[in-house]
């Protein structure tokens, strides 16, 4: 590469990033998932558009893994343990037992309907099973869900990459020339060891690294943010070097670091989110570049068939089998079934057979690419509607408000944003009737675009957005009280 090549790369790269940033607003307004816009940018830059030649599955896989590390790190660092704590057990079962159920169902369908050999059918089942962290995290920001459901989707998206990668690599190796056919119990043993080891590495690196950073880091929030993200990458590297699950180690290390009450929390999360966006944009554009639009149409029928089996049979069955033990209602199970979004992860994993030397598997990338595009168009824009029809939305939402100017961690305070939804019984309740615990207060109400400081007798209305300041000691009780009044009205706790 010469300096002239560098100039061209920087020119194209910076323009792509600017277009991608602008595309976020288009995505919000149109309801079209941003990942599809980024994939479209990549296709437009490829051989069918601007003429950029790129056909290296090996480079795509390497850069894809690097991007997934940053995406998982961002997901872990920005996830509240308090939010997902009750959902970890069902999410862990859904990410293991549920994955096996989905793989088997899709494999049977692929073997019977396409038809394919059992090894290739299992490989396709493993590739398309994983839900995508980037897609799930993006949608959860727009759909107001109860903590239990949002926590399950977040935790599942963070957990299930690890077992799926193990299965895909194993099946691709078995299908390659000279690959051995290990018994299912041998594969299960290796997968269990890798997952258990990845869990141990992630928790250890996250906890010890957080303690070390707290002691040695200076006052610079920028350097501290770099150190935190470096620890999440270190967890992946250590896990992979030990032939354990590096993806699981990354997510757990990030989850531990994000919930250790470390200083500069806002700066760390902002830096991780920025890296996550860069990784998502770069990954989707890269996948679009690798795709050949002249071949994609050949796999549309197979993609629709496999996608329908996955959406209507495999995913619902895996959800029922995995969550029936945890008391979820049929409405919650139905929403979880519809919310199993696919994104970059299956497309990246579709490059594994190519790099493993598995013969006659180039069409798998095209099939998975079309499946992701078609079913993301179907599922993502309808998630809000499905949630409302199933009545699993929660119109009172409380989220952290990041304030760079106020060191909230140091003063032991939290700022919550509360939205009063259309079905909330907060409507008509006066501020003093909330009976918030001592140490919590409603400091601002935004109504129809106008903000004002409420008086004790100010009455709340549908659509109001509230800022509630609470000490860390009473934050949980404050949220619990607001949710109770939203569900039961002003007499909640008395009646």
C-alpha distances out from residue 392 to 170, 199, 256, Å: 38, 32, 29
Are the beta carbons of 494 and 430 closer than 8 angstroms?
no
CA gap 305, 363 in Å, rounded: 15
Q: How many CB atoms within 10 Å of residue 457?
A: 9
| Range 14-21 contact pairs with CB under 8 angstroms and sequence separation of 24 or more | 16/41, 16/45, 16/281, 16/285, 17/278, 17/281, 20/281, 20/285
CA gap 254, 201 in Å, rounded: 12
What are the phi and psi torsion angles at 422 (to 5°)?
-65, -25
> Domains in the chain and their CATH numbers?
34-389 (1.20.1530.20), 397-488 (3.30.70.1450)
Are the beta carbons of 402 and 78 closer than 8 angstroms?
no
Q: What pLDDT is stored for residue 483 in this prediction? A: 86
- Strand (E) or helix (H) holding 282: helix 265-290
pLDDT tens digit at each of 495 positions of the chain: 788 888 988 998 899 888 888 877 776 665 566 778 888 888 888 877 777 888 888 899 999 999 999 999 998 998 888 778 888 899 999 999 999 999 999 999 999 998 888 889 999 999 998 887 666 666 666 667 777 888 888 888 888 888 888 889 888 888 887 666 667 778 888 888 999 999 999 999 999 999 998 887 666 788 889 999 999 999 999 999 999 999 999 999 999 999 987 888 878 888 998 999 899 889 989 999 988 888 888 889 999 999 999 999 999 999 999 998 898 899 999 999 998 888 888 999 999 998 888 888 889 999 999 999 998 888 888 888 888 888 887 655 554 444 443 445 556 677 888 888 877 889 999 999 999 999 999 999 999 889 999 999 999 998 899 999 888 788 888 888 888 888 888 887 665
Closest among 473, 467, 474 to 400, alpha carbons compared? 467
- Tokens standing for 125? 């089942």
Q: What angle do CA 449, 141, 224 make, to 5 degrees?
A: 100
C-alpha distances out from residue 282 to 16, 42, 289, Å: 9, 9, 10
Which string of b and e fits 116-126 if b means at least 16 CB within 10 Å?
beebbbbbbbb
Alpha helices in 31-146 (DSSP H): 34-45, 57-77, 81-84, 88-113, 118-129, 133-140
Beta strands in 367-410 (DSSP E): 397-400
- Tokens standing for 450? 């106008």
Are the beta carbons of 118 and 107 closer than 8 angstroms?
yes
Residues with Cβ within 8 Å of 178's Cβ and at least 6 positions away in sequence, in order, are none
Beta strands in 216-373 (DSSP E): none
Report the sign of the C-alpha dihedral through residues 387, 393, 395, 400, in that order.
negative
- Tokens standing for 64? 């894809």
């Amino acid at each position: 590469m010469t300096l002239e090549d560098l100039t061209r790369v920087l020119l194209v790269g910076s323009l792509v990033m600017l277009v991608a940033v602008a595309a976020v607003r288009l995505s919000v307004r149109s309801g079209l998932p941003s990942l599809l816009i980024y994939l479209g940018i990549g296709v437009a830059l490829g051989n069918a558009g601007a003429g950029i030649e790129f056909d290296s599955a090996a480079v795509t896989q390497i850069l894809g893994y690097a991007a997934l590390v940053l995406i998982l790190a961002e997901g872990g660092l920005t996830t509240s343990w308090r939010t997902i704590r009750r959902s970890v057990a069902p999410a862990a079962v859904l990410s293991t037992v549920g994955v096996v159920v989905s793989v088997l169902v899709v494999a049977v369908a692929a073997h019977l309907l396409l038809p394919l050999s059992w090894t290739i059918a299992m490989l396709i089942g493993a590739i398309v099973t994983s839900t995508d962290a980037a897609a799930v995290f993006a949608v959860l920001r727009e759909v107001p869900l109860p903590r239990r459901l949002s926590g399950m989707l977040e935790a599942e998206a963070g957990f299930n990459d690890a077992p799926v990668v193990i299965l895909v690599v194993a099946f691709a190796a078995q299908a390659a020339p000279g690959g051995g056919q290990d018994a299912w119990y041998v594969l299960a043993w290796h997968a269990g060891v890798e997952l258990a080891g990845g869990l141990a590495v992630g928790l250890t690196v996250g906890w010890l690294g957080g303690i070390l950073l707290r002691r040695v880091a200076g006052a610079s929030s920028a350097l501290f943010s770099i150190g935190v993200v470096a620890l999440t990458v270190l967890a992946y590297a250590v896990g992979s070097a030990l032939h354990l699950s590096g993806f699981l180690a990354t997510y757990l290390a990030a989850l531990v670091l994000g919930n250790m009450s470390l200083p500069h929390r806002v700066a760390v999360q902002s830096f991780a989110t920025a890296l996550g966006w860069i990784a998502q944009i770069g990954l989707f554009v890269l996948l679009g570049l690798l795709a050949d639009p002249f071949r994609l149409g050949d796999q549309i029928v197979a993609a629709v068939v496999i996608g329908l089996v996955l959406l209507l049979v495999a995913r619902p069955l895996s959800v029922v089998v995995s969550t029936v033990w945890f008391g979820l209602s049929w409405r919650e199970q139905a929403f979880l079934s519809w919310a199993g979004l696919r994104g970059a992860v299956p497309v990246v994993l579709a490059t594994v057979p190519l790099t493993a030397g598995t013969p006659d598997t180039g069409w798998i990338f095209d099939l998975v690419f079309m499946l992701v595009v078609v079913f993301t168009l179907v599922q993502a824009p309808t998630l809000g509607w499905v949630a409302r029809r199933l009545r699993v939305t929660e119109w009172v939402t409380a989220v952290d408000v990041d304030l760079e100017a106020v060191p909230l961690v140091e003063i032991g305070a939290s700022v919550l944003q509360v939205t009063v939804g259309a079905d909330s019984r907060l409507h008509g309740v006066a501020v003093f009737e909330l009976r918030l615990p001592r140490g919590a207060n409603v400091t601002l109400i935004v109504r129809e675009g106008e903000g004002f400081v409420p008086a004790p007798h100010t009455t709340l209305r549908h659509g109001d957005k509230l800022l509630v300041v609470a000490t860390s000691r009473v934050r949980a009780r404050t949220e619990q009280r607001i949710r109770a009044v939203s569900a039961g009205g002003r007499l909640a706790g008395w009646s």
